[in-house]
Structure formats: structure tokens, C-alpha cells
Amino acid sequence: MTDDRTSFSLFAEPWWLDAVAPGAWEDVRVEQNGTVIARLPFVRTRRMGLVTLGGAPLTKQLGPWVRPSEAKYTNALSAEHEAMGELIERLPTHDRFRQGFAPEVTNWLPFAWAGFDASVAYTYRLTDLSDLDAVWSGLRENIRREIRKAERQVEVVEDLGLDRFLAAAAQTFERQGLESRLPTEAFRRVEDAASSRDARRILFAVDDAKRIHGALYLIWDDRVAYYLAGGGDPQLRKSGAMSLLMWRAIQQAAGVSAVFDFEGSMLRPVERFFRGFGARQTSFLVAERLGRRSRLLRGARYLLDGIRPSPTKRADRA
């Protein structure tokens, strides 16, 4: 069966982009004999007169897609170079480009040749969900203890509603002294689109007193299932509910996808938690290119930061 998708993940699919960036996303394409052979979606924004081509809310990774080829490797790579080069040339005029690319994008050369810079970010993935006993054995012992402890205290239930999920997730940000970063309206559109496709589960850990210890949002296609977001009551953290919810999400994912993606984090405590599930560290590229005006603006900001007194010095004078 021919796969007619033009993306490496659900995050670059039109239905997803329509949900997270309605009317705001675009793409450039390369076609051959009426067939799309390469595609690069982006969201165009304007701020202070500067145009940025970037990602979308709730969307950590986009980047280029090139149709896989069965040609000899050297020929396939040459064709990929050419297709990526055409995508870059077809991008609209912009002052800044910044996107995380899907982990499947490993050929960086056409972007380097076009003046893009790259940094590396990480996610964690379980790449074989076919044997859940093996996955369980790969969990760190403290994670298995947390799961067993939570099973004695809470029950995992589904679909208590998006509002209750968002409230639970917001508590995690509040505990960290941050405002919630979850784009609520985009999340509601994702919920409508994903639920109509049977492509998501919302899991809650609830105790006998009906208190919600934690909640988790899982989304998938047949290639990869993603932990999209989650959180819980900081007063009930010791129950181990989030470990149990993650394990239940992995079990759910095994029935619909080949891979489980923890959707990454560069925060040390979060990274340590994800790594505890035996997942493989998986790198992906973050691409950026600045035009002249953006470089000047960034230089001016660096200069201002250098001459402004630090908050500590200001406090000392107060």
C-alpha cells in the first residue's frame, strides 16, 4: 500500500496544523509529475515589522519532509539535497526562520549550505512497543516502585473532560512559579480534531475521594504516539500517579503505534523522569537563520543587556 502522507509525523499533517494554527500556517512544496516529493510547513508571524517563519503552538517539531526513495543511496541522497534546496529557495521572504525538525530529518547539509545554523535538542523514545514485558523490564526500579505504589492508591480513568485536564496540568506550572504555557484555545481545537479521529486519550489518576492526582494527554498516529502534556496536584505528588499514568499511556500506545515519544525536555528533573522509563535519547535539530534586520536587532539587545545593571545590582542600590 502506498503511503500518501507528506510528513514524518502527525505534527506536520494538515489536520493538526489547522487545529493549532488555523489560517496561519503555510507550506512550500516540490512536485514531480504531479506528486509531492518534498514539503516544508511553517507559521508566518510578524512582530515589530519583522517576519518570522516558525513553528506552531503545541508543536515541537516540523521541518522538511522528502519522500523516501528506493534508489541507490548516493542517488537518493543527491535527490534529497536537490529537493531540500528547492524548498529553501521557495520559502517566502523572511527576517528569521526557526523550527525544530523531526528526528527523522538527519540530512542537514542543504540548510548549512544555505546559511542556516543548527543546535541540538533531545527527546526520549521507546522504539519497540511490541513486547510490553520487555518494556517493563527496561524501566528503572524506582519507576516500577512508583507505579506499584500508585496502583494501591488511585485508579486510572479516561475522559473526565478537557477542562479538568487543563486544570490539572496548570497546577504543575503553578508549583514551579510559572504561568501556564498551555495554549488553551489551541488545545480545545486539538481535542475536537483528535477525538473525532480517535487519535487521543486523556488519562486521569483519581483516588477514592475523587481527587485528581494527575492527568495526561496522549496523541498518536500509526507511526508514533506522543505524550503531549500532563501535570497534577502538587499536594499529591508522592502517590506516584504520574509514573502510573505514563505507564498506562505506553500500554495504550502499544495498541495503536510503533513508537512512544516522551516529547522531550531539556529540564534536568523532567529528563531524568523520562529516562527512567528505559527510553532512548533521540536527538533532533533546531534550525535558525537570521536576516540582516534580525541580526542587527539581536546585536542591539546584546548591547543593551551588557550596559544595563543586573537585577542584583539594582536591588543593592535600592
Q: What is the DSSP track for 85-142? A: HHHHHHSPP-SEEEEEBPTT----HHHHHTT-EEEEEEEEEE---S-HHHHHHHS-HH
Residue 208 lies in a domain: yes
Query: Residues 35-64: what's their mean pLDDT?
Result: 94
Side-chain half-sphere CA neighbours of 230 within 13 A = 30
DSSP-derived 3-state class of residue 146 = helix
**Is-contact 244 150, C-beta < 8 A?**
yes
Q: Out of 74-88, 186-200, 250-264, 291-305, pick the least confident.
A: 291-305
DSSP-derived 3-state class of residue 289 = strand
Per-residue confidence at 135, pLDDT binned at 50, 70, 90?
Answer: very high
pLDDT in tens, 204-216: 999 999 999 999 9
Expressed as residue numbers, the domain containing 247 is 128-257
Note the pLDDT of residue 90.
98
Please name which of 204, 207, 210, 208 lies closest in space to residue 164, comparing C-alpha atoms.
204
Which amino acid does the sequence have at 269? P
Residue 272 lies in a domain: no
Rounded to 5°, the CA angle 31-37-38 comes to 95
Rounded to 5°, the CA angle 147-152-155 comes to 85
Residue 270 lies in a domain: no
Q: Are 21 and 101 within one domain? A: yes
243: CATH: 3.40.630.30
* pLDDT tops 80 at residue 315: no
**Is-contact 42 88, C-beta < 8 A?**
no
Per-residue confidence at 138, pLDDT binned at 50, 70, 90?
Answer: very high
Q: Are 168 and 74 within one domain? A: no
* pLDDT tops 90 at residue 145: yes
Note the pLDDT of residue 215.
97
Overall pTM surpassing 0.85 (yes/no): yes
Q: Are 61 and 102 within one domain? A: yes
Q: Are 65 and 155 within one domain? A: no
Q: Are 253 and 132 within one domain? A: yes
Query: Residues 82-102: what's their mean pLDDT?
Result: 96
**Is-contact 219 184, C-beta < 8 A?**
no
25/7 Cα distance (integer angstroms):
15
DSSP-derived 3-state class of residue 190 = helix
Q: How many domains does the chain have?
A: 2
Residue 5 lies in a domain: no
Q: Are 141 and 162 within one domain? A: yes
Note the pLDDT of residue 22.
97
* pLDDT tops 70 at residue 303: no
